[in-house]
Homo-oligomer: A and B are copies of this chain.
Amino acid sequence: MIKIGLLGLGTVGLGVCEILLEKKSIIEEQTKKTIEISKILVRDLEKDRDSTVDSKILTDNPSDILDDPGIDIVVELIGGIEPAHTYITRALENGKHVVTANKAVLSHDLLGLTNLAKKNNRGILFEASVAGGIPIIKPLKELIKINKIKEIKGILNGTTNFILSKMIEEGIDFKEALTLAQDVGFAEADPTDDIEGYDAARKISILSSIAFGYNVAFEDVDCRGITSISALDIDFFKKLGLTVKLIGSAYSNDLDFDASVEPVLLNTNSTMANVNDAFNIVSIEGDIVGNLQFYGQGAGKNPTGNAVVSDIIDIINGELSHIDIEKKEKPANTPKILSNYYLRISLKSQKEPDFILKSIDRYELKYKFIREEGNLILILQNIGRQEVKDVIEDLEIENRSCYAKIDSKSYYFIQELNLESFNELVV
């Protein structure tokens, strides 16, 4: 008999209860154990709840779970850094295994929590913390047994992907698409974490820590969201044969490390450009296996519940698969990765383009440009992420511009086909 204590009974918690109930027989056949959810921590004992859960096992005292010697596995689904960090720590110290879906607490202290688990000879598994139902943490742990991972990237936030998909499909502006996402429950009342890219940054910090074998903190990820993208930009991306996605990505070799979240323009005919709505995709580049991509639902009761239950089964089967993120030193060097960037500036006057182009000339950049409906659109060539930021700061156009990296393979594609109407300036 395996006893589980659940911390939190939101959407995913309910999903876990339902899956363990509905799939009881096949799970018990796999594990040769009886599994019981014996206690669930909730905030409000009086709240009306689904009948799936017996109200007698609810408690509002965390100690009933964390300090109960009968409980084998603690499933943490409350989210956020505190009190989750305290609860996970106490559970591990009390000899319990932990399963968590909490990317905030993991990107905050992956090293501390995984070391504590190892010290106590217990498992901490977190398949559900990144990309919902997609099995990615476990396959990644397998891959690094053979491969050196050069790059890991993907569409890691369903909310922003839903918003961008709606903007593309329906030609609506960012705010309208955000409201739509809130109406259908894909975005929270306070959407900051999603639309500013913080959620994706947490996930890329977790993925890259495992992939590279050193600790990548949330703060190591250079993060930018999608709030400046307008319907006009979307329209222009279409004309260029490109699709915009919020991409979290991390790159490493022996000398360099770089991690970012930013809007990226992809060839409309590519796998990643066609990942729509709340779906996620993760792409991994290994030195032996080459490019792998994993696609699926990035959130939701059942997909995320599936990942949690999968971890529970692994723990019961003794597959604790500890990670080692102190294996290597994090490279000190941030490489200057040169890309091509789309930059749109909403013009204040007819004469402004001359001023802008002159200012940009000081950077000795190669670029193409076009004027379109009160906007100047530039394709800046071979420029680094920081340099684009500098240009924008210099021009004081932060509040009336939008910029996005053009994926290198896709740039090759649009270069041939869709830039003939642009004026070319060669320094």
Measuring CB to CB, which residues of chain A are less than 8 angstroms from any residue of chain B?
19, 23, 26-27, 30, 133-135, 138-139, 142-143, 145-147, 268-271, 273-275, 286, 288-297, 300, 302-303, 305-306, 309-310, 313, 319
Contact = CB atoms under 8 A, between A and B. Distances in A.
Nearest to A270: B274
Given A26-B145, A139-B139, A289 B274 contact: no
B275 A302 contact: no
The binding surface of chain A is classed by DSSP as mixed
A297 B291 contact: yes
B292 A135 contact: yes
B292 A295 contact: yes
A26 to B, nearest CB: 7
Contact of A302 (B145, B289, B302, B306): B289
Nearest to A243: B269
B297 A294 contact: no
How many copies, total?
2
Nearest to A300: B290
Given A30-B145, A274-B270, A23 B288 contact: yes
Given A19-B288, A296-B292, A306-B289, A27 B274 contact: no
15 contacts: A23-B288, A26-B146, A134-B292, A142-B310, A146-B310, A270-B274, A271-B275, A288-B303, A288-B305, A289-B303, A289-B306, A293-B294, A293-B296, A294-B295, A319-B319
Given A139-B139, A290-B303, A313 B146 contact: yes
A146 B288 contact: no
Contact of A291 (B139, B143, B289, B296): B296
A238 B17 CA distance: 47
B23 A146 contact: yes
A306 B290 CA distance: 10
* Those 6 A-B pairs whose CB atoms lie nearest each other, nearest first: A293-B295, A292-B296, A289-B306, A133-B289, A288-B306, A290-B297
